[in-house]
Structures are given as C-alpha cells and as structure tokens.
Amino acid sequence: MTEFFTDVTERIPFEGPDSDNPLAFHWYDADRVVAGRRMEDHLRFAVCYWHSFNWDGFDIFGAGTLDRPWHPTFAPTADPLDAAKAKMNAAFEFFAKLGAPFYCFHDRDIAPDGGSFKESAARLDEMVDLAAEHQQRTGVQLLWGTANLFSHPRYQAGAATNPDPEVFAYAAAQVAHCLDATHRLGGHNYVLWGGREGYETLLNTDLRRELDQLARFLSMVVEHKQRIGFAGAILIEPKPFEPTKHQYDYDVAAVYAFLQRYDLVDEIKVNIEVNHATLSGHDFAHEIAAAVDAGIFGSVDANAGDDRLGWDLDRFPMSVEQMSLGMLEIVGAGGFTTGGLNFDSKLRRQSIDRNDLFHGHIGGMDTMARALLVAAAILEGGELAANRAARYTGWDGELGRSILDGTIDLAALHDRTVDRGEPVRVSGGQERLENIVARYVARVR
C-alpha cells in the first residue's frame, strides 16, 4: 500500500511537556493512569472522516485548497470507487500513525453516491467490507456511524421532517442501511444530526406535523436497532441553527423535552458538540451538565468556535480552561461509557501541508489530555465539591427537608416567615472558585 503521510514514518510518540518536537504528544500519554483509568480509555479519541478526508478546503467563496488527491476536484476523471479506496487507505494510515483508537463516518464519506439507492447501497457495502479489513489490520474501531441526510438536493426540506413522505421513506431506507453497516463494523454508537430537520419560515411550515414525523422516524430507528441486535447507543446531536434557520434539536434541553414528549427518553441520548453548544448560547460544560442531569449524556464532538464569528467554525479545541470545565462534568459523572471525543474539527483552509492534519489532531488531543488532568486534579482536591455542598446545607436541615418532602405548605411557610428577619446572605464566591480552577490549570503536569 503506498503511503500518503510519508513524513511520519512511526506512530506519533509521547515526549512530555518539555519536548519541542511538533510531531509528538506533549500531554497525551495513552497508558498514563488518571483517576483509575488509562488516558486512552478516558478520552476515547476519534478522528472524523468528513473534515479530514472528504473536505478539499472549499468554502462559499472559493475552490478547494487542500492536498486531497482522491477528491473529485483534483481527480475529476477517477473512478469514484477507486478514489474512495485511496481515501480509505490514507484515512486508516492517518488513524494508525496518530494512534487514535476510533474513527467516525457518514455513509457518503466512505462510499460515494451511486446515482440510485441500489447502487449507493452496493457501494457502501463494498466500502464497509474494506473498512472491516482496515479495522482488523490496524485495530482502529468505529466510535459511530451516521447517514448523511442533508447534502443531497432531495433533502432540501429535511429528511424525517420533510413535507413529502417519499423523502421520509428514502431517509428511512438510508438510515436502515447505514445502521446495518455500523453494526457490521462493531460501531459503539449511531448518531443522528438533524442537518435539515428544522425550518426556514413558519409561513410554509407545520411544526406539529414535523415534530410528530421526527418522533416516528426515531422510534423506527430504535425498533430497527433492537431488531438487528445493535448494542450501541442511538445519539441525537443538538445544534441550534445552520443550515436551517431554526433546528428542532436546538440544544440539550430542547432534545430532552422532545424525548420526554414522545416517550423516547430511555432509548436515545445526546452527542454534544462544543461549537453547537456555544452557538446555542450555552457553555460546553452547561450542555454536558444538562445531559448528565437528564440521564442522556452519550458522546462529544470536540471542537471550538470563534469568539467573533457566529457560525460553526469547527476549529480544533485549544482552550485548556474551556475543555477542563467540560471534562470536569464528564469525569465527575463517571466518564464515557459508549461515547468518546470525536474531533469534528477541521483545518483552516490555508493549512495545506499534509502534516497539518497531524498538528491539528496533536494539539486537540494534548488539549483534551491536559483538560482531563485538570479535571481529575480538581475532583481529587475536592475544594469545589466541598464549596458546593456547603452552599446547599440548608436544604439538608429541617426546613429544607420539610419543604422538599411536602410536609410544609405555602400557608405554613407564610406563618413561619411573618415574625422572622431577613435570611442571611452569603457570598457566591465565584472569583475565588475561578482562581482555584486557574491554579489547577497552571499546576498540572
């Protein structure tokens, strides 16, 4: 097999924080045990196929810039399946050299559209057989698969939420086939991002119908999963907007309300993407905490937005502090089970060297590894937990318990309050707590 990433001949080594080697890990040490688990098992890194191998760098203003010789931009006359095979060789070469234990794909990332459903499905089957061989050879596993229900023009008005049931049927067929493929490849999860499940204008949209359709679609996915014996988790990926003006899976709270309304809460969890969280006006850590609280936390798409740009930038995560606060919620809740950290992150359009794909992922993995160390140290130190517990002690006392267990009612609280003075106010201490976090960020090694 001819190699694509020829500058990197060995697996990227761990050399520690003092190394200046840009093609080495400085913090991610797969075998290092943190809070009782190997780093690799905590973080469960995945590389995404779409940004790293499918995207040629095009944007709405200009053509592809990246060195992706299998891409139709650069090989317009190549046989699509030959090109897909060359792309898969390069992808698995990259996963293995990086030392990423997992990858993720859309059906159309690994197998090109065949023009008809039948031909597309046959191509996917052929490429899945090849992916199984690559997985066997390299030991790389599939974190999740997903069907692309947003790129083809047939999905212009959505997939499950389309006003035309023929489109719903097509999407259902595509998901059935892709879920089977994910199952065959031993996928740990199956993701549904509602790329066009939303609307542009209420003037032509029947909200109630579209939500009922979406719920029926998801119920069918759950039924199919059970029928084929897929043991992985089904995950919805919330995003507030882009490409549609309003997306139904706006954020974790909206997804949770939807799952409760349609009695799907025990069957479906969420895949939280950092840049989607920030677009919805929330911190990454908030979305994790909301999902953990609702019992629907599944997996993470690790990336970063840009403070000044209000769309989905999908940069590699580089902020240790932001990621530490997210990891604090994840590790505090017991860590990943089926999920992991998928780099739904892409290079900037000018990053045209082949090695840039390594630099992006090395930076992201080191950032997340450091964030894990910070989170584990904060949890071990216990100051934040002690502070939080102290803040709520009143609720463990007589008054708090009698309010919560219902032995005291509104009128009784009225009578109790009449002759009392003001409650004693105490400091929330936010700055002191932020300083504690900053100290851990600075100190961990």
- Please give the full DSSP string across 291-345, using - where no structure is assigned: HHHHT-EEEEEE-B-BTTB-S---BPP--HHHHHHHHHHHHHTT--SS--EEE--
Q: Give φ, ψ of 326 to 5 degrees.
A: -70, -45
Q: What is the DSSP letter of 157?
A: T
- CB-nearer residue toward Co ion: 28 or 144: 144
Q: Does 344 bind Co ion (CB under 5 A)?
A: yes
Q: x/- site string to ligand XUL, residues 347 to 386, per CB under 6 A? A: ----------------------------------------
Among 210, 249, 273, 366, binds ligand XUL (CB under 6 A): 273
27-86 residues near ligand XUL, rule: CB under 6 A: 50
Q: Does 312 bind ligand XUL (CB under 6 A)?
A: yes
H or E element, residue 237: strand 233-237
**What is the C-alpha to C-alpha distance for residues 363 and 366, in angstroms, rounded to an integer?**
5
Q: Does 247 bind ligand XUL (CB under 6 A)?
A: no
Among 68, 108, 177, 239, binds ligand XUL (CB under 6 A): 239
Q: Catalytic residue among 26, 42, 106, 286, which? A: 106
278-307 residues near Co ion, rule: CB under 5 A: 301
CB of 249 to Co ion, least distance (A): 12
Among 197, 210, 273, 312, binds Co ion (CB under 5 A): 273
Q: Which of 248, 234, 243, 342 is nearest to 298 (CA)?
A: 234
Q: Does 280 bind ligand XUL (CB under 6 A)?
A: no
Which listed range, 75-83, 261-269, 272-280, 292-300, lies at the site for Co ion (CB under 5 A)?
272-280
**What is the C-alpha to C-alpha distance for residues 84 and 32, in angstroms, rounded to an integer?**
36
Examine the residue annotation and report whether 129 is marked as an active-site residue of this protein: no
| Residue 68, binding choice from Co ion, ligand XUL, none, Cβ under 5 to 8 Å by partner class | none
Sign of the Cα pseudo-torsion (342, 334, 437, 434, in order)? positive
Q: Catalytic residue among 29, 109, 180, 301, which? A: 109
Q: Does 109 bind ligand XUL (CB under 6 A)?
A: no
Quick one: 332 exposed, middle or buried, by C-beta within 10 A (0-12, 13-18, 19+)? middle
| Residue 312, binding choice from Co ion, ligand XUL, none, Cβ under 5 to 8 Å by partner class | ligand XUL
| Residue 146, binding choice from Co ion, ligand XUL, none, Cβ under 5 to 8 Å by partner class | ligand XUL
> Quick check: 105 and 88 in contact, CB under 8 A?
no
CB burial readout 116-128, b (16+ within 10 A) else e:
eeeebbebbeebb
Examine the residue annotation and report whether 109 is marked as an active-site residue of this protein: yes
Crossing angle of the two packed helices 383-391 and 356-381, in degrees rounded to 10? 50
- CB-nearer residue toward ligand XUL: 30 or 313: 313
Give how far Cα 45 sits from Cα of 114, 208, 273, 366, 402, Å. Answer: 31, 38, 14, 11, 46
Q: Does 190 bind ligand XUL (CB under 6 A)?
A: no
Radius of gyration (C-alpha) of the chain in whole angstroms: 24
- CB-nearer residue toward Co ion: 301 or 329: 301
Among 251, 301, 329, 366, binds ligand XUL (CB under 6 A): 301
- CB-nearer residue toward ligand XUL: 312 or 329: 312
Q: Does 344 bind ligand XUL (CB under 6 A)?
A: yes
CB of 27 to ligand XUL, least distance (A): 25
Catalytic residues: 106, 109
The binding site for ligand XUL (CB under 6 A) comprises: 50, 106, 146, 191, 193, 237, 239, 273, 301, 312, 344
The binding site for Co ion (CB under 5 A) comprises: 273, 301, 344
